[in-house]
Structures are given as C-alpha cells and as structure tokens.
Structure 1
Amino acid sequence: MIRMTLAEVTHAVGGTLHVHTPDTPETTVSGVVDTDSREMGPGSVFVAKPGETTDGHLFVDAAVEAGAALAIVERRLDAPVSQIVVPDAVAALSDLARVVVARVRAGGELQVIGITGSNGKTTTKNLLARILQDEGPTVAPRASFNNEVGAPVTMLRVSDHTRYLVSELGASRPGRIAELAGLITPDIGAVLMVGLAHAGGFGGVEATQKAKTELVEAVRPGGVAVLNADDPRVAAMAAVADTRGVSVRWFGRATNADVRAEDVEVTASGTTCTVVVGEQRLPLRLRVLGEHHVMNALAAITVAQVLGVDPAASVARLETVEIAERWRMQPMGSDRVRIINDAYNASPDSMSAALRTLAQITEPGQRKVAVLGAMSELGEQAGEEHDRVGLQAVRLRYERIVVIGTAARRLYLAAISEGSWDGEAVFFETADEAFEYLRAELRDGDRVLVKSSNSAGLRFLGDRLGESFS
C-alpha cells in the first residue's frame, strides 16, 4: 500500500482511531493490507474480518507478532497495536482501496483494467499480467482473488510506481460487480462470456448477463469495453457502452472481431492458432491446454493492444506461459498416465470444454477417463446440467466415467442411462474411495481429466493422482 498516516487511513475508512504508544495520528503505515494474519510483515495493516467459521479478531495478536502496525477492527481489543474501530471491516477494506487507487491514479500513470465473465477470468488475468509485466510495474490478483475481500486486497497492493492494475471481478449476487468496479472506475472493462456459472445465485442466465453488464456500466467515459464478439449476450453490451461514451474493441473467432483466431488446433502439448490483427497474422502456440483458452488469450491481447502493446509482443510473451493457474488444466502425472487437474472450478461451459479438450488430445489406443464431481451454484438448473455432462461424456466415448459425491450422482445416472452401464461409469461417495479405484484401474496410455467445482475438493484428488503416477 502507499504510505499513509494513521489519521489518513482513519478518514478513508470512516472509523475511530485509538493509537498505541508510541504511535501518533501522524505515524505512517505502508505495508501489506490483508485479512490473513499470515500475510503480515513490518508496517502492515491487519483487517479483522469476522467469518463464518472463525473471527479475524482472534488473530490480531498473531498479526502484531508478524509485524502489523495497525489493526482495523469492529470492536476495540486489548492488543499492543494502534486500532481503527469501524462498523464493518469488509466495507472499510473497500473504502480504503477506493481512496488508495484514486490517489495513485491522480499522481501517476496508473491504468486500471477490470475483467469479468462466467468463465476464464483467472486465466485471462494471468495472461494479461504476463503481457503487461514487461511494460511496467503490474499488480494482479493472486489465485482467484475476485470477491468483496480478494478484489480490494489486490487493489491495495498498488504503489506510487504501479503502471497497471488488473482486477478480476466475480459476482456472488446482483450488484456485486458494480460495487467492486465502482472502487476503481476501470479504464478498460473486459467481459469474456455469459454462461451458467453461478446462475443459481442470480435466477438464470439473463440475470447473469445483467450482472456482467455492470462492468461495462462502470467503465469511465472515454474508456474501452473489450467484448467477446462470439457471445451474443456479451455483444449486446456494446449498446450500453455506447450510451456511456465508452468505445468497444472486439475479440473472438468471428470475422468482425478486431483480434481474432483462425486455424485453431488442440494438441497434447498445447493449443496453436493464428492471431489476426488487421494485416498482421501471428502464429501463437499456447502451452496452456484447451481450445477454450484461445479466447482468453485473445481477450488479453486485445486489452494489451488498447494499452499500446504490439500484438506481436503479446503473442511472444503468452508463449512463455506454461499453465493458466494451479488446478486449471494443469498437466500432472507422466507420459505413461497423464492427469489433467482442472478441478478448481466448474460450470456447464467449462466442464464441456474440458471434456472436449481431453478427447481432442487423446491418441488412438489411449483411454479417456473422466473423474467428475459436482458443479455448484446452478440452482434449479443443476439437475439438467449434470445430466448434460453425463450425456456428453458418453457421447465423447470416454472409456471410464468416475463420478464422486452425492451432489454429482445425477451425472452418473445420466451416463448409465445413455449406455455406460457395463462398468464404464462408476460412482463413489468419497474421493478416497475413488482414489483407491483409480490407482488400481489406471494403466499405461490413460489420459485422465479431474474436473469439479472447488467445493467438491477434487483438486486434491488430482494432486494425489498426479503424484501417484509421476
């Protein structure tokens, strides 16, 4: 965080300051701001966030021992540290982020990019950060820091020298993206796609579209919306951009896209395509597995071009990226038994894309094995969408379909109904049971996809399988 006095932080969050000797209101802090006491260091600010399972106030002493110089709390504590008491610690975190980003923007050349979409946010964020880090100091989220805590924590990492802030914006409910984007008023807003991810929390895909449109509505007048030309729901957001004086740049495979891909080919070592930008035709070899990641790369190239980066330079930098993120189409195991661990998150769109990818990279004589868990937050559409995944796995001729967890049982039943009733589809209540089955069942040449929502926990099963067959 930029250097601020205790008095300035207090004013930013609207709290009451209680200084601890020898501090004064003019004492400064400039370290990390976080809700995790393990992230603290000298001069840092600990935000004591109440949680569902624990309370950040219980960790203030640990934060102080690690170097925290200030605690933002909801009640005053008997702790040897200056404290700012606020009604809502999470709201205070956002208030502080808003002030810090505005100060950096006013005093330098900071460019702010917001990214949202039902799928692909984290991958696109990582690809864009890789491009921009060679242009100047860049701040981007760790992992999937895209909610009401992770997004402002990332924003607060900017310094007076930061040139680019990349914010990943997720939505747990209508209005959330508007709130997060409102903290930074992006110069560029990129919308990747509108799908069924989290549709249960919104009441359907139309409501999801409206939620993602909130980013376009938050882009500053004169800014740029980077939109997916292949997704009609995203393309419709151009009308919103026009009413706000926001210009539009298109990416996709459609012929009208400003940055588009042709000749896409998926292999076991990555994905190749030709990136077309005006008269430029640039061969791109992504090491990241999956045809769907081409769209994420196109979005990153488009945003970077808006920021003045030559697409050829963007392509060269993207080719150095080995994986999108841990647990996202992450190759593990060995050539003998290849594990693709893609179990950090799952939606109907990403599940379908992952199943197609493994089918595309599996050679004749090799078996396709799908290890699948539940897709969360689909609401009333959960049953039908799990049915679709089971049907798709059978129709892609997966030799083994291993389904784990009661919440995913309907996927298993759909696979059986479609014809995988002779041992091809199996069901286990727990990941441990599935691991024992797979350790005995997998053989040389097998290609294995592990895919589920984060809540199902199969990413750890993927890790175990990767280690077992390394």
Structure 2
Amino acid sequence: MIPLTAGQIAEIVEGVLHGEPRILVTGSPTLDSRNVQPGALFLAFEGDHVDGHDFSAQAHAAGASLTLSSKKVESPCVVVPDVARALGRLASYVRNELADLIVIGITGSQGKTTTKDLLTQVLAMVGKTVSPQGSLNNDLGVPLTLLNCTRETRFCILEMGARHRGDIERLCKISRPNIGVVLIVGSAHIGEFGSVEVIAETKSELIRNIVPGGIAVLGQYDAFTPKMSEGLPLRTLLFGQTHQATVRATDVDLREGRAHFDLVTPAGREPVALRLIGEHQIANALAVAAICTGLEIPIEVIAGALSTAEIASRWRMEILEVSDMLFINDAYNANPESTKAALRSLTSFAQARGGQSWAFLGKMHELGAISSDQHAHVGEFAGFLGVDHLVCVGTAEYSLRLTDFPDTQIHQFSSKIAAADLVEYFSQGDVALIKGSRTEKMEELAEELMKRWTERASEQE
C-alpha cells in the first residue's frame, strides 16, 4: 500500500477520525486480525456470526496503525457508514495516484483464477506484479488487491466476478483497467442471470469500461465474446485456435494430459509445453499470451514462461499419484463446460495408464431452470467419452440419459462419506476425478478417497 496518514484516509473516505491525524498507514489492509502486518489498515466488518470490531484491539496490538470501521473502537479508527463502500473509495484514490500502473481485469464463466495464476507468473518475470491470492473477485477482493500495490508495482491483475448486472462495471469504476480480458461466456450462474445473453452483457461491462486506448483481449470460444469491443476506441486481440485469432495455438499434441503446441502471434512462432493438466488449459495459456503480446513482451519470453508456470491455487486440476493410482482433485468449483473439460482429461489419463476411470461428480449449482437438463447432458457426455464409473454424489440427475451407454456403471450416493466406500473397488492404474460446485466441498471426498486408498494399499503390501 502507498503510505497514507489517518487524516488523509479520513478525508478520502469521508469518515470521522478518532485518533491522531498524523498516524501513518503503510501495510497491506486486512480483514483478519491474525494476519496483520506492521502499519496495516484493519477493516472491521460486521458479519452474520462474527463482528470485526471485536478484534480491533487485537489487530492494533499486532501492529495495525488504523481501523476502518462502522462504529467507534478503542484503537485509532476512521468511522464510516459503509466499510465496503469506503474501501472502494480508498482503492480508487490509490489507483489514481499510481498513474503508471497497468491494471488488467479478467472475467469469464470459467478459467479466471487459472489465467490469473499463469499471468502472474509470466508478468513477474518482467516487473513487480500484484494479484489476488485465491479467487478474490468481488467488491472486497478487487479493492484489497489494488491497495496491495505500491509505487514500485508495474502490473496489477484483477479477477472480476459478477452475481448481478452492474457488478463488473462497479469494479471497473474503482480500478479503471488498461486491459480487459473476457475468456468465455458460458452457463455458470445462469440461474441468477436468467440467460446466456444476460451473462454476456454483464461480462462485456469490463470491455466497455477499459480506459480509452486500452486493449481488449477476447476469446473465440463462444458467439458473444469476440464482438464485445466493436465500436469501442480499443485495440482488440483475439485468441483461440482459428486462423482469425491474433494469438493462436497450432499443432496441438496432448502428452500425459498436458498440452504441447506452437504459439503463433504477430511476432512469430514458438513451441510451448504446458505443465498444466487438460486440453482446456490451452485457452487460458493463449489468453495470457495475448495479454503479453499486447504489452509487447517478446514471444520467446512468453513461451518460455508458459512452459514453466504451475497452478498456484488449490483444488484446480491438482494431480496426485497415490500408490499407483491417480487422483484429479478439481473440487474448487464446477459448471457444465468445466466439468466436461475435466472429464476429457480423466478419460485421457485412464486410457494412457490402462486403468479404469472414476468420475465423482457433485452437484453443479446456480443453473436455475436448466439445472436438470445440464446435469443430464454432462452425464451423457461422460458416457460418450467412455467413463467407466460415473459416481453421482448428492444428485441423481447426471444419470438421466445414460441408457444408451451401458458400459458406464452408475453409482449414486446421498453423501460424500458413503461414496468413499467405492475405494474397495479401486485398482492400481485407475484414475479418479473429483469435482463439484464450491458449496459441495468435494475436496473433502478427495481427501477421504486418498486416505482410504493409502490405507488399503498399505494393507496389501
């Protein structure tokens, strides 16, 4: 964070200061009193179960210089009616102060966090880069990420999610992105938005709010995204696997689930060998390559960095080999598109290893009226791919259209613990995919499966 006095912060957020105006805030802002840095700004939010104001003294004792709160506390504080709104104002001020900072906003129905992780690793080779840990993509996460920037920061990468129309536009008013990236428009959250058309309109808020003369980076994976910059004063870079793409992949080859391809940009052609699992990771890598092309980073640097980058966030296509069995922990979240991509990786690995494929699928949430149809469609796709065992956890809807695929065995369980009993039928060489929406917490099943398989394998030695 750039150094600001308590008096300056009170003026910026239009709050009431209780304390010495010359108190200096220099550390990163935090909502957690256990993670306070010296000189930090502590953010006191009133939650349903926990009131951050009760921890302001603890935060101050740990080194926080100032608390931003909605009521007076004993330690130095700035009191405002709405802490979240004040946080946005403060982040907007810092964005204005950092005139040379290049802000990159990323949105899309899938791939945001993976693309952010990849881009962070690539840009860090060029200059100081700030990006969110995990998936902080809302009206708290975006300001917090911006406030972590200093005058030495060259790039700030922001994930931008949305639950309603106007959410992304509001984040853009705070961050004023120089580059906007839309990966793909899909059916994630369609239950809240009502239609794919409304989702596309919401994602396009990012492109419409790029600063004039900025860069729009658009995927070619749906009918909406490539058109989002039409009529806007922006430079547009398309990425995909067609000849119309500015940045594209050719000569794609999957080796042990990892994509190898030639990266083609206006600057030339370079080989890339991804360490990430899944053919769908090509799109995320191309998005990163397009962003870096727009920033005029040499293609050799881009290709080399992509070939060494790893996934930094948990439960996203994590590959774990336990006693000669492979577990694909992709439990962070799920929608129809990402689940089908994960199923492709599952069958690819199983075929290469000569073992059986197990798909443990939890419910996909926020699909609204099309939920049953989409679950059935994903299950049908699993049958088409030849998945050996489709394990439905908490929902039977995946199995509704599998009558034409008798080779796919269907298992249905109401709980994760019950589903873990299938470990008794695992064999060395098998591959298990675990995936579901965030609220399903399918990582718990992944951990239980690996624990039981480890115990069973030890007993057989």
TM-score category (smaller protein): over 0.9
Please give the alpha-carbon distance, in whole angstroms, between the structure 1 residues aligned to 2:30 and 2:253.
Answer: 42
Please give the alpha-carbon distance, in whole angstroms, between the structure 2 residues aligned to 1:468 and 1:315.
Answer: 40
Query: What SS does the aligned partner of 1:68 have?
Result: coil
Write the mapping of 1:195-274 to structure 2, written as runs, cut at 5 A. Answer: 195-239=186-230, 242-243=231-232, 245-268=233-256, 270-274=258-262
From 146, 161, 168, the counterpart of 1:170: 161
Q: Output the TM-score relative to the length of structure 2.
A: 0.94
Is residue 122–residue 144 contact of structure 1 (8 Å, CA) maintained in 2? yes
Write the mapping of 1:186-201 to structure 2, written as runs, cut at 5 A. Answer: 186-201=177-192
Is residue 5–residue 29 contact of structure 1 (8 Å, CA) maintained in 2? yes
For residues 25-65 of structure 1, what are the alpha-carbon distances to aligned partners after superposition, in whole Å with 9 as ceiling and x for unaligned?
02111111022222212111111122233322232233223
Write the mapping of 1:338-349 to structure 2, written as runs, cut at 5 A. Answer: 338-349=326-337
**Shift in Å, 1:358:** 1.4
**Shift in Å, 1:413:** 4.0
Are residues 1:280 and 2:268 paired? Answer: yes
For residues 342-387 of structure 1, what are the alpha-carbon distances to aligned partners after superposition, in whole Å with 9 as ceiling and x for unaligned?
1101111101111112112322631111000011111111111111
Is residue 265–residue 293 contact of structure 2 (8 Å, CA) maintained in 1? no
Are residues 1:430 and 2:424 paired? Answer: no
Is residue 137–residue 162 contact of structure 1 (8 Å, CA) maintained in 2? yes
Match of 1:15 in 2: 15
Are residues 1:44 and 2:40 paired? Answer: yes
Match of 1:410 in 2: 397
Match of 2:359 in 1: 370
From 67, 91, 103, the counterpart of 1:71: 67
Please give the alpha-carbon distance, in whole angstroms, between the structure 1 residues aligned to 2:98 and 2:265.
Answer: 33
Is residue 228–residue 234 contact of structure 1 (8 Å, CA) maintained in 2? yes
Are residues 1:389 and 2:378 paired? Answer: yes
**Shift in Å, 1:18:** 0.7
For residues 132-166 of structure 1, what are the alpha-carbon distances to aligned partners after superposition, in whole Å with 9 as ceiling and x for unaligned?
10111100111111111111111110011000001
**Shift in Å, 1:325:** 2.5
Match of 1:32 in 2: 28
Match of 1:308 in 2: 296
Please give the alpha-carbon distance, in whole angstroms, between the structure 1 residues aligned to 2:11 and 2:287.
Answer: 38
Return 55-64 or 94-103, whichever deviates more: 55-64
From 71, 88, 97, the counterpart of 1:94: 88
Letter in 1 for 2:244: N
Residues 160 and 278 (structure 1), Cα distance of their counterparts in 2 relative to 1, 3 Å cut:
closer
Match of 1:442 in 2: 426
Is residue 41–residue 66 contact of structure 1 (8 Å, CA) maintained in 2? yes
For residues 221-241 of structure 1, what are the alpha-carbon distances to aligned partners after superposition, in whole Å with 9 as ceiling and x for unaligned?
0101011134221012021xx
Query: What SS does the aligned partner of 1:445 have?
Result: coil
From 112, 115, 138, the counterpart of 2:103: 112
Please give the alpha-carbon distance, in whole angstroms, between the structure 2 residues aligned to 1:350 and 1:466.
Answer: 23
Please give the alpha-carbon distance, in whole angstroms, between the structure 2 residues aligned to 1:225 and 1:382.
Answer: 32
Residues 279 and 147 (structure 1), Cα distance of their counterparts in 2 relative to 1, 3 Å cut:
closer
Return 185-194 or 68-77, whichever deviates more: 68-77
**Shift in Å, 1:87:** 0.9
Match of 1:4 in 2: 4
**Shift in Å, 1:281:** 2.0
Query: What SS does the aligned partner of 2:12 have?
Result: helix
**Shift in Å, 1:451:** 0.8
Please give the alpha-carbon distance, in whole angstroms, between the structure 1 residues aligned to 2:5 and 2:347.
Answer: 57
For residues 76-124 of structure 1, what are the alpha-carbon distances to aligned partners after superposition, in whole Å with 9 as ceiling and x for unaligned?
13x3x1111111111111111111121122xxx3111111111011111
Is residue 102–residue 178 contact of structure 2 (8 Å, CA) maintained in 1? yes
**Shift in Å, 1:390:** 1.2
Match of 1:456 in 2: 440
From 335, 339, 352, the counterpart of 1:351: 339
Please give the alpha-carbon distance, in whole angstroms, between the structure 1 residues aligned to 2:430 and 2:193.
Answer: 39
Please give the alpha-carbon distance, in whole angstroms, between the structure 1 residues aligned to 2:172 and 2:449.
Answer: 39
Query: What SS does the aligned partner of 2:422 have?
Result: helix
Please give the alpha-carbon distance, in whole angstroms, between the structure 2 residues aligned to 1:186 and 1:28.
Answer: 28
For residues 216-260 of structure 1, what are the alpha-carbon distances to aligned partners after superposition, in whole Å with 9 as ceiling and x for unaligned?
011000101011134221012021xx33x1120111111011110
**Shift in Å, 1:439:** 2.3
Query: What SS does the aligned partner of 2:224 have?
Result: helix
RMSD: 1.7
Are residues 1:332 and 2:320 paired? Answer: yes
For residues 256-299 of structure 1, what are the alpha-carbon distances to aligned partners after superposition, in whole Å with 9 as ceiling and x for unaligned?
11110012222325211111113622111101011111011011
For structure 1, the 5+ residue unaligned runs are none
Residues 140 and 467 (structure 1), Cα distance of their counterparts in 2 relative to 1, 3 Å cut:
farther
Please give the alpha-carbon distance, in whole angstroms, between the structure 1 residues aligned to 2:124 and 2:63.
Answer: 29
Please give the alpha-carbon distance, in whole angstroms, between the structure 2 residues aligned to 1:208 and 1:16.
Answer: 39
Please give the alpha-carbon distance, in whole angstroms, between the structure 1 residues aligned to 2:363 and 2:33.
Answer: 32
Query: What SS does the aligned partner of 1:343 have?
Result: coil
Return 8-17 or 133-142, whichever deviates more: 8-17
Is residue 257–residue 345 contact of structure 2 (8 Å, CA) maintained in 1? no
Match of 1:323 in 2: 311
Letter in 2 for 1:461: L
Match of 2:390 in 1: 401
**Shift in Å, 1:67:** 1.8
Query: What SS does the aligned partner of 1:101 have?
Result: helix
Please give the alpha-carbon distance, in whole angstroms, between the structure 2 residues aligned to 1:160 and 1:279.
Answer: 31
Is residue 130–residue 157 contact of structure 2 (8 Å, CA) maintained in 1? yes
